[in-house]
Each structure stands twice: as C-alpha cells, then as structure tokens.
C-alpha cells in the first residue's frame, strides 16, 4: 500500500522516493517536461525527459525519482512542497484518464454550479473543493468529541419513520412493503426517547426534506447534528451547551484547518465572551430603531431581519453570533415548552450567525397531558407516534436540546454562496446526482 505522500517529500531531500498520485498538470518545455503530481496531501513538481510527454491530466501514475532542493529563485511559495522537486527516473501509468471536460489546474475552479455538480466526481478532486469536506469532517468530529467530553452518548436514529412526525407536507413518502412510510425530517422524537435511556444524547443524522423551493440555503438531504439532554434546572442551560459546542467546533476548525481557511480567505465567526441572548420582541424593537421598518407584530424574523440583527450584534456586542429567544407558541412545534413567565411565548431559541439561522433549539414539554393537548390543538395525529408518547407516559425529566445542519455551518465558515457547495452529493428538486430531467418519471398514479 502507498505509504509516502506528496507532503512528506520535503523531508527526503537527496533520497530516492516512490510516489503514487494523479497528474494534475503538465508543462512541456521541449527536452524537459514538468509534471505536477497531486495526491490528497498536495501537489509536487516532478521533472523528467520527453518520455513524460505521453502523460495526460488525471492519469494515475507511479513515479520513482530523486528529491532535489530547488534553487532559491525557483522556489514556489504557493506550494507546501515548493522548495523541492523530484527528478523522475522511472514512471508507470496505472490508469489512463480521458480528456478532461474542465480545467482543474487553476487555484480557482471557475465553473457554474450546474457544471460543478454535473462533473462532481471530477470537481471534488480540485484541492479547493475537497477542502470543504475536510472542514465538514472537522465540524462533525468536533461535535462528537465536544459532547462526549460532557458525558453525552451517541445513538443511531432511524431514517424510515411511521409518520410525518411534526406534521407538515415537506416529507418524502416511501412504498414500504405495501404500506406507506416516510423519511425522517428530524431525529426529534427519537432523541427525546433516548433522553429517557441515556439522559444526555446526540446523533449525526441524514435528514430528508421535500423542500419544494430552490433557494441557496435548502437541500433535500442534509447531515444534521442533534443533541438532547435531561435534568435541566433552567432552559438557559440548553443555550449554555449550544454555546459550548459551537465554540468548540470553531476552535477545532481553527486548529486543524488553517490551510483550508486560507484557500477561502475565511475567518471563523468572531465571538467576544458570552454570545448575546435577546428575546424576539426585543430584536424587533432594535430592528425598528435601526431601520424604521416595523416588524414588531411579526411572529418570526424575515431574512432581512436576520441580517439586521446580526449586524447589530456585531456592532454593539462585538459578536458575529446572537441567540434570539421566545418565539411565539404558534411558530414553534407542538412539543415546545411555553414560558410560564411569558405566556404565548416559548422557551426556544435560534442561533443566528453571519446573517442566517444556524441552529435551533429549546426546552420540550415533558408532561404527557400537555403534549397530547398541544398536538390535538394543531390536529397532529400523535397517536401514531406511539413510542414517542410512551416515553412520556413512563416518566421523562425536564429536558431540551438543539439541532443544526453541518452543511450550513460549513457554508458560513468558508463563506460559500450556496449550501449545495457544502454537500458532497447535493439533492434538490432538480438533481439527484444527475439532473432529474434525465431520469425516469413516476407514472402519474398520485
């Protein structure tokens, strides 16, 4: 198996090395041919004679050669390996590539979003594109690690569910052994059940939503990160844990992904001290004062409002993150806890960052009767979610939690324009790998 990577070569000056990778670029200078060899760790210059001329971009090759220091004036500061090159003695093509439809050799991959996705298996190999998923891996690992340090247990939440749990139409239906079943929009019910078992839990989920709109921030399949925990003394503790894990994730990205951040000229959201926490109504007052736009009777923040309150938090509180709390009962799911000291409003919050909602959370109702009553009020047939009710029937502690999409966080960290860029294989109304217009239509039986 391959044991030497491109980035290791800088430490092998004077030695003979064997390397494996892809031909990233070729520069033919008549008697001398330069090959940029790429592997997952970087790019390295290989120099050889005209026999190298038969190589093409993306050919998979084996090269044997001697590592040489480059003369000072030929050092390439843009490459990690820019101080060395390998003088090829021998090489072999392991796998030949067809002619490429796009150019991978520039620092920026200047293609449209549809092209980026039409050639996804190829475009993912561009260092600036694969970097996005290195950051996603860090975010998810940090979520796990940070919560485990606080005694949380990871569990596996199901994808197939018996009911469209929270009501709503944006749910995918499946044909399940001659029955109807649905795809999970959220592990909400299951993580609450698991609080009854392990007290503090989290899950990394595939959540599926039949979002009927094509926006830059919605995808049909997302990798979401969910946590839930019991025995809270106060709902503020849910925000405390949220704040802890968000800061933990940012710190991990800062520690591990400097190279990736540099590619995007990105910095992590600034947070000085505690993240500000304000009620929705207070946020609306602030927005009214700043913009003269009166949204004080709205039940939620509009996208413009979200941007405005983020601007306020940065200017006034030196924070790129802000908690907005106490959304009205009507705007939150039936299981959300109503604030006994502020009736009509819930013990719920959104965490906003860089102009959009990053995360949502809150305290849940843990009393069976209230839960059933609330579901009824909203015409939700909760009886079909029998296991969920069971958890409350047999004793549940006061509890709450939060949920967010890994793609949206990565998008905001790197400053991507579209959340699709932060999903390896994004699914939406128009695409499941291939454009849907090219695949079979469902017969109009429904």
Give residues 212-271 in contact with its own copies (rule: CB under 8 A): 212, 220-221, 223, 229-233, 237
Q: Can you tell me the distance from the alpha carbon of 62 to that of 41, in angstroms, rounded to the nearest whole number?
A: 16
Task: Kindly state whether residue 441 participates in binding its own copies, applying the rule CB under 8 A.
Answer: yes
**H helix or E strand, kind and range, residue 144:** helix 127-149
Q: Other C-beta atoms within 10 Å of 73: how many? A: 5
For residue 201, which of 175, 224, 228 has the smallest C-alpha distance? 228
Contact set for its own copies, span 307-366 (CB under 8 A):
366
Q: Which of 66, 83, 210, 263 binds its own copies (CB under 8 A)?
A: 210
Using the rule CB under 8 A, which residue among 42, 406, 411, 416 binds its own copies? 406
Q: How far is the CB of 68 from its own copies (least distance, A)?
A: 24
95 is a contact residue toward its own copies (CB under 8 A): yes
- In the beta sheet, which residues pair with residue 360? 350, 403
- Contact with its own copies (CB under 8 A) among 109, 116, 208, 414: 208
As a dihedral over the C-alpha atoms of residue 37, residue 40, residue 41, residue 44, rounded to 10 degrees, the angle is 0
**Structure-token pair, residue 88:** 């090829």
Q: Which of 12, 64, 80, 125 binds its own copies (CB under 8 A)?
A: 125
Please give the residues from 103 up to 122 whose contact with its own copies meets the rule CB under 8 A: 119-122
DSSP letter, residue 231: -
Residue 397 near its own copies by CB under 8 A: yes
State the Cα–Cα distance between residues 396 and 405, nearest whole angstrom.
27
Residue 283 zone, left/alpha/beta (φ > 0; ψ -120 to 50; rest): alpha
In the stretch 37-66, what mask flags binding to its own copies with x, by CB under 8 A? --xx-----------------xxx------
Smallest distance, its own copies to C-beta of residue 208, A: 7
| 183 vs 287 by CB, closer to its own copies | 183
Q: For residue 391, which phi and psi values (nearest 5 degrees)?
A: -55, -40
Contact with its own copies (CB under 8 A) among 206, 262, 274, 378: 206
Structure tokens at 382: 């909760």
Task: Confirm or reject binding of residue 286 to its own copies (CB under 8 A).
Answer: no
Minimum separation from the CB atom of position 235 to its own copies (A): 11
Residues β-bridged to residue 124 = none
418 binds its own copies (CB under 8 A): no
What's the min distance (Å) between Cβ of 380 and its own copies?
Answer: 15
Positions in 132-191 near its own copies (CB under 8 A): 133-134, 136-137, 140-141, 153-163, 172-181, 183, 190
Q: Alpha helices, DSSP H only, in 292-385?
A: 303-317, 368-377
Could you say which of 147, 385, 405, 421 contacts its own copies (CB under 8 A)? Answer: 385
Tell me if residue 66 falls in helix, strand or coil: strand
């Amino acid at each position: 198996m391959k044991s030497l990577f491109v980035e290791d070569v800088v430490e092998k000056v004077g030695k003979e090395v064997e390397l494996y990778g892809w031909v990233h670029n070729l520069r033919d200078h008549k008697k001398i041919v330069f090959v940029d060899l790429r592997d997952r760790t970087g790019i390295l210059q290989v120099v050889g004679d005209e026999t190298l001329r038969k190589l093409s971009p993306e050919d998979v090759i084996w090269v044997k050669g001697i590592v040489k220091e480059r003369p000072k004036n030929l050092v390439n500061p843009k490459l990690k390996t820019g101080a060395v090159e390998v003088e090829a003695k021998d090489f072999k093509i392991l796998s030949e590539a067809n002619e490429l439809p796009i150019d991978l050799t520039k620092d920026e991959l200047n293609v449209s979003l549809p092209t980026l996705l039409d050639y996804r298996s190829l475009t993912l190999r561009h260092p600036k594109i694969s970097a996005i998923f290195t950051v996603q891996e860090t975010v998810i690992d940090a979520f796990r690690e940070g919560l485990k340090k606080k005694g949380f247990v990871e569990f596996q939440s199901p994808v197939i569910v018996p009911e469209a749990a929270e009501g709503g139409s944006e749910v995918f239906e499946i044909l399940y052994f001659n029955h109807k079943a649905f795809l999970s929009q959220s592990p909400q019910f299951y993580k609450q059940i698991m609080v009854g078992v392990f007290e503090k839990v989290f899950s990394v989920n595939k959540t599926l939503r039949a979002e009927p709109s094509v926006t830059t921030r919605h995808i049909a399949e997302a990798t979401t990160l969910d946590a839930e925990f019991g025995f809270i003394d106060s709902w503020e503790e849910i925000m405390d844990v949220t704040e802890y894990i968000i800061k933990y994730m940012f710190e991990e990205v800062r520690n591990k992904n400097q190279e990736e951040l540099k590619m995007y000229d990105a910095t992590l959201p600034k947070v000085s001290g505690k993240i500000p926490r304000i009620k929705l109504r207070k946020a609306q007052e602030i927005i009214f004062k700043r913009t003269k736009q009166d949204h004080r009777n709205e039940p939620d923040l509009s996208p413009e409002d979200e941007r405005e309150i983020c601007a306020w938090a940065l200017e006034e509180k030196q924070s790129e993150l802000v908690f907005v709390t106490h959304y009205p009962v009507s705007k939150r799911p039936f299981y959300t806890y109503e604030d006994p000291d502020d009736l009509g409003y819930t013990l719920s919050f959104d965490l906003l960052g860089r102009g959009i909602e990053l995360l949502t959370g809150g305290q849940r109702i843990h009393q069976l009767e209230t839960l059933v009553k609330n579901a009824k009020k909203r015409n939700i047939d909760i009886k079909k979610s029998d296991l969920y009710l069971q958890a409350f029937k047999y004793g549940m502690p006061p509890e709450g939690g939060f949920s967010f999409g890994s793609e949206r966080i990565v998008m905001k960290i790197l400053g991507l324009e579209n959340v699709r860029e932060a999903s390896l294989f994004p699914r939406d109304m128009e695409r499941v790998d291939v454009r849907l217009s090219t695949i079979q239509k469902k017969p109009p039986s429904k």
